[in-house]
């Protein structure tokens, strides 16, 4: 299908991009890797007047260290995130989740920032971002602001970003030495998650010292499984203890029903997959 006509501009700095966004007004859209936006345009579910392509903004690409955090540019592709040594070392959960996103073609074009900004509840990078207490660095006309992941994801496809704002980078607190696993459940390879669980744990001796667990597609936004985390802290890293903790995974959730899974089954999956994710993490 063919999108409705639009104007196109490709700024080369964040400042220019913010300016272009303000100038183009409400009906402008930022173009990241285009892997979610283009299907929407081609199906004519949206018809922005202007596309502001961030592809030429070099400062938005790449991963760097900043003290206790990694800073990942919004335009860093999934492929680059996956194989980045800093990500592997300090944010293994993000690397594992990114491995499960779509297929190699999509991973070469789609971006971390685009996924976060798009905020699809089935997107695989939201739960890791939430679980690891990341922060979103946002640029607008009035300068930059930082929003915690817990406040960033507002609703289905809705974030704290204002229409005239850009996501610039994501600050990921280092989880050096933490074990991680992303357990994704879908029906065919390369499909979106029906439910998925992001788990990262710090093991001391034979017990779990700290745990972070995030759930994908269990609500309009990613969900943090605090009850599971609390139950895991101090627990022995055994399948039985983990299973007992995982039984709390669906607490307080009210997931949607669709053709792939009704709410009951989603809650069941959340519990089962949480057990598997944490077990895989501790043994990984």
Ligand X SMILES: Cc1cc2nc3c(=O)[nH]c(=O)nc-3n(C[C@H](O)[C@H](O)[C@H](O)COP(=O)(O)OP(=O)(O)OC[C@H]3O[C@@H](n4cnc5c(N)ncnc54)[C@H](O)[C@@H]3O)c2cc1C
Catalog residues that contact ligand X under the rule CB under 6 A. Answer: 29-37, 54, 74, 101-102, 106, 110-111, 113-115, 117-118, 120, 123-125, 161, 166-167, 192
Site residues (CB under 8 A) for another protein, limited to 243-262: 259-262
**Which residue is listed with tokens 């798009």?**
118
Q: Residue 272 touches which of ligand X, another protein, none (CB < 5 to 8 A by kind)?
A: another protein
Least Å from the CB of residue 252 to ligand X: 24
Tell me if 217 contacts another protein by CB under 8 A: no
Tell me if 6 contacts another protein by CB under 8 A: no
Least Å from the CB of residue 26 to ligand X: 13
Decide whether 6 or 210 has the Cβ nearer to another protein.
6
Tell me if 7 contacts another protein by CB under 8 A: no
Q: Largest Cα–Cα distance of the chain, in whole Å?
A: 60
Decide whether 228 or 273 has the Cβ nearer to another protein.
273
Decide whether 134 or 274 has the Cβ nearer to another protein.
274
Decide whether 36 or 200 has the Cβ nearer to ligand X.
36
Tell me if 193 contacts another protein by CB under 8 A: no
Tell me if 265 contacts another protein by CB under 8 A: yes
Tell me if 12 contacts another protein by CB under 8 A: no
Decide whether 125 or 237 has the Cβ nearer to ligand X.
125
Decide whether 15 or 258 has the Cβ nearer to another protein.
258
Least Å from the CB of residue 242 to ligand X: 25
- Other CB atoms within 10 A of residue 61 CB: 17
Residue environment code for 1-35, b if the CB has 16+ CB neighbours within 10 A, otherwise e: eebeebeebebeebeebbebbeebeeebbbbbbbb
Tell me if 45 contacts another protein by CB under 8 A: no
**Which residue is listed with tokens 């860093």?**
76
Footprint of another protein on this chain (CB under 8 A)? 1-2, 4-5, 43-44, 185, 187-192, 194, 259-262, 264-265, 268-269, 272-273
């Amino acid at each position: 299908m063919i999108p409705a006509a639009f104007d196109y501009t490709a700024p080369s700095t964040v400042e220019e991009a913010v300016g272009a966004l303000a100038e183009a007004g409400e009906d402008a859209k930022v173009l990241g890797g285009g892997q979610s936006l283009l299907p929407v345009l081609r199906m004519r579910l949206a018809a922005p007047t202007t596309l502001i392509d961030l592809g030429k903004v070099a400062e938005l690409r790449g991963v760097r260290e900043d003290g206790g955090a990694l800073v990942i540019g919004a335009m860093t592709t999934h492929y680059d995130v996956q194989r980045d040594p800093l990500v592997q070392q300090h944010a293994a959960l993000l690397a594992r989740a990114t491995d499960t996103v779509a297929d190699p073609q999509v991973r070469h074009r789609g971006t971390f920032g685009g996924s976060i900004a798009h905020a699809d509840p089935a997107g695989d990078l939201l739960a890791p971002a939430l679980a690891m207490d990341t922060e979103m660095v946002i640029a607008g006309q009035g300068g930059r602001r930082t929003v915690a992941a817990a406040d960033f994801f507002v609703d289905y496809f809705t974030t704290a970003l204002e229409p005239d704002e850009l996501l610039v980078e994501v600050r990921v607190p280092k989880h050096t030495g933490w074990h991680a696993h992303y357990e994704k459940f879908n029906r065919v390879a390369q499909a979106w998650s029906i439910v998925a669980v992001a788990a990262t744990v710090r093991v001391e001796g034979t017990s779990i010292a700290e745990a972070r667990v995030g759930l994908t597609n269990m609500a309009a936004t990613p969900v943090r499984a605090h009850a599971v985390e609390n139950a895991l802290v101090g627990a022995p890293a055994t399948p039985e203890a983990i299973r007992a903790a995982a039984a709390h995974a669906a607490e307080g959730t009210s997931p949607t029903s669709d053709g792939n899974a009704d709410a009951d089954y989603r809650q069941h999956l959340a519990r089962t997959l949480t057990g598997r994710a944490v077990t895989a993490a501790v043994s990984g």
